[in-house]
A and B are shown apart, each in its own frame.
Chain A
């Protein structure tokens, strides 16, 4: 009796194995991901409707946090500055893509020792952003920074990049471009490796050279690399937190804030006790990111359909 039941259940499992198996394989990863990533997104949406100092009880305030954000925006206060800086980050960070392509073209040779050169050029990407931030803080230092030594050679400067609200964001972005360019470079180096030599020959026969060749023949073949470079650069730009935290803490007088840093500042920093408000900022940042996420997913979806 029991034996036959066991046989039955086993054969049921056996019969449905292909239906059940994927869920068993998915379960641990999916559960983890749901608990730590997906559900918290919704919790943050909910929290943004509350006022909460992170210590006592939370109080429901409806959309007041968003209203406050609106006023901050129209008064050109911290939220406005963060949003504006985020935009600058998004635009200028994209410079990593052509810069990476340029270095990749420069290094795409087969001379002796080129492998080591490629590795050393890639090197900044492996270093933590914290260290990159420290390195560039010293690079910009108004008393002894390498930058001012360099400017001094041309009789210029001294420039206090991180202390001047006009330059500070650009200075930090420049620091961020260093590892990001290295990343894009390695993507393009790999891409260039796989460029079809026959097409290049065909192009040469047609008289294409230099920039025309690059634009009409090489770049179209580098599309996958460009797409990935675009994705990681956008994500990197919107995630800019480490560098700002290390280099300026949002200063001087709050002029280098971005949403990611401002959110942390109001919610968890020394003088910040506004969890709900922070959540509202995070929601805005999320919605901006969502535009890009939707675009990426849509591209991936088209790709999937083609296969």
Chain B
């Protein structure tokens, strides 16, 4: 193990390390903790310039109540949910198939198609912006969750294909050979042999895509408007405009907006990190 395990170091070093851990964490999360502090302060603290002292009264319930009952925030959260979940399902489903096709079969253009997916995944959003916006307008899907979902599925298919294909490559190929010898059709091989083996990849990818899509801001701004379809990342700017200079409410709003992917991360930590670091190890 590198660096040398701390248990094998002198006692003084061990104590220093143990003390430094929480300090470093405090420093690291400082800006975020500040916002958390803001979100439970009463408005009076801000007019009296009591920014960093103890809250003069604890107004967490009131502030978060305002966010949930006196703004469009719940609607934005719901929109985010209805954009994110279908995208995850769509992108994972499509990429299971593309990943299977590119990972199992040997055909001439295989590598080229694979590289096309990979390259497309790296393209800057701006070069897609105008045409995708026009396409969405033409399809009559501008300012709908569906319009956003369709684009997200398409774009995420690039990354997901890269992920799935590499995962399938690492599966034991003999299983498929054996199935073919027994005359099982390709579709059934995909469904009964390969798909069950892909469960960990599907789990990892789902959590990753959930986070990516939940946090998308650019496409939300380009393809939606108004509370009936905007996800929370775009909604929060409207929310802030509504409560401009009311820092306690903007802070509470930000925390609420950030929460779902954080919860997702803590619940599915193992899969999340497995997905994120695929390829980081040989």
Direct contact of A and B (CB under 8 A): yes
| Shortest distance between the CB of A243 and any CB in chain B (Å) | 10
- A-contact bits for B195-233, CB 8 A (1 contact / 0 none): 000000000000000010011011001100000000001
Q: Which of A25, A218, A259 has the most CB of B within 10 A?
A: A25
Q: Which of B267-282 contact A (CB under 8 A)?
A: 269, 273, 276-277, 279-282
**Contact across chains for A146 and B31 when beta carbons are under 8 A apart:** yes
**Contact across chains for B279 and A228 when beta carbons are under 8 A apart:** yes
Q: Which of B129, B153, B265 has the most CB of A within 10 A?
A: B129
Question: Is A18 located at the chain interface by the 8 A CB criterion?
Answer: yes
How far does the alpha carbon of A130 sit from the alpha carbon of B120 in the complex, in Å? 24
**Contact across chains for B34 and A279 when beta carbons are under 8 A apart:** no
> Residues of B contacting A297 with CB < 8 Å?
115, 118-119
Question: Is B266 located at the chain interface by the 8 A CB criterion?
Answer: yes
CB within 8 A of A25: which of B38, B97, B131, B153? B97
Number of A-B contacts (CB under 8 A): 282
Instruction: Label chain A's interface by main secondary structure.
Output: helix
> Residues of A contacting B61 with CB < 8 Å?
none
How far does the alpha carbon of A251 sit from the alpha carbon of B124 in the complex, in Å? 22
How far does the alpha carbon of A10 sit from the alpha carbon of B133 in the complex, in Å? 43
- A-contact bits for B101-124, CB 8 A (1 contact / 0 none): 110110100110101111110111
A interface size (C-beta, 8 A) = 101
**Contact across chains for B280 and A200 when beta carbons are under 8 A apart:** no
**Contact across chains for A190 and B281 when beta carbons are under 8 A apart:** yes
**Contact across chains for A33 and B117 when beta carbons are under 8 A apart:** yes
Binds B, one of A1-9, A67-75, A118-126, A160-168: A118-126
**Contact across chains for A146 and B30 when beta carbons are under 8 A apart:** yes
**Contact across chains for A213 and B102 when beta carbons are under 8 A apart:** no
Question: Is A49 located at the chain interface by the 8 A CB criterion?
Answer: no
How far does the alpha carbon of A195 sit from the alpha carbon of B250 in the complex, in Å? 44
How far does the alpha carbon of A225 sit from the alpha carbon of B273 in the complex, in Å? 13
| Shortest distance between the CB of B5 and any CB in chain A (Å) | 6
Given A111-B17, A228-B280, A285-B127: A186 touches B273 (CB 8 Å cut-off): yes
How far does the alpha carbon of A148 sit from the alpha carbon of B222 in the complex, in Å? 35
- B-contact bits for A77-120, CB 8 A (1 contact / 0 none): 00000000000000000000000000001101111001001011
**Contact across chains for B1 and A200 when beta carbons are under 8 A apart:** yes
> Residues of A contacting B233 with CB < 8 Å?
128, 130
Q: Which of B7-35 contact A (CB under 8 A)?
A: 7, 17-18, 21, 24-25, 28-32, 34-35
> Residues of A contacting B251 with CB < 8 Å?
138
| Shortest distance between the CB of B181 and any CB in chain A (Å) | 13
Instruction: Label chain B's interface by main secondary structure.
Output: helix
**Contact across chains for B273 and A200 when beta carbons are under 8 A apart:** no
| Shortest distance between the CB of B209 and any CB in chain A (Å) | 13
Size bracket, chain B contacts: 35 or more
**Contact across chains for B35 and A296 when beta carbons are under 8 A apart:** no
> Residues of A contacting B131 with CB < 8 Å?
39-40, 43-44, 47
Question: Is B175 located at the chain interface by the 8 A CB criterion?
Answer: no
| Shortest distance between the CB of A16 and any CB in chain B (Å) | 11
- B-contact bits for A143-166, CB 8 A (1 contact / 0 none): 010100100000000000000000
Question: Is A26 located at the chain interface by the 8 A CB criterion?
Answer: yes
How far does the alpha carbon of A120 sit from the alpha carbon of B269 in the complex, in Å? 11
Question: Is A139 located at the chain interface by the 8 A CB criterion?
Answer: yes
- B-contact bits for A289-302, CB 8 A (1 contact / 0 none): 10011001100110
> Residues of B contacting A193 with CB < 8 Å?
281
**Contact across chains for B7 and A21 when beta carbons are under 8 A apart:** no
**Contact across chains for B105 and A18 when beta carbons are under 8 A apart:** yes
How far does the alpha carbon of A200 sit from the alpha carbon of B5 in the complex, in Å? 12
Given A190-B280, A242-B217: A40 touches B5 (CB 8 Å cut-off): no
Chain B residue at minimum C-beta to C-beta distance from A27: B97
Question: Is A281 located at the chain interface by the 8 A CB criterion?
Answer: yes
CB within 8 A of B258: which of A110, A131, A149, A301? A131
Question: Is A172 located at the chain interface by the 8 A CB criterion?
Answer: no
Question: Is A170 located at the chain interface by the 8 A CB criterion?
Answer: no
Q: Which of B31, B221, B222 has the most CB of A within 10 A?
A: B31
Q: Which of A208-262 contact B (CB under 8 A)?
A: 213-214, 217-218, 224-225, 228, 235, 238-239, 241-242, 245-246, 259-260
How far does the alpha carbon of A178 sit from the alpha carbon of B218 in the complex, in Å? 20
Question: Is A61 located at the chain interface by the 8 A CB criterion?
Answer: no
Question: Is A56 located at the chain interface by the 8 A CB criterion?
Answer: no
How far does the alpha carbon of A300 sit from the alpha carbon of B279 in the complex, in Å? 11
Given A44-B130, A191-B280: A36 touches B135 (CB 8 Å cut-off): yes
Instruction: List 4 additional contacts besides A41-B127, A218-B2, A286-B127; criterion CB under 8 Å.
Output: A135-B34, A195-B1, A246-B217, A293-B122
20 contacts between A and B (CB under 8 A): A32-B153, A36-B154, A41-B123, A44-B128, A47-B130, A108-B1, A120-B25, A126-B261, A127-B215, A129-B215, A131-B257, A134-B236, A135-B31, A190-B281, A200-B2, A278-B129, A279-B127, A282-B127, A283-B127, A285-B126
**Among all A-B residue pairs, the 3 with the closest Cβ atoms:** A36-B154, A40-B131, A128-B215
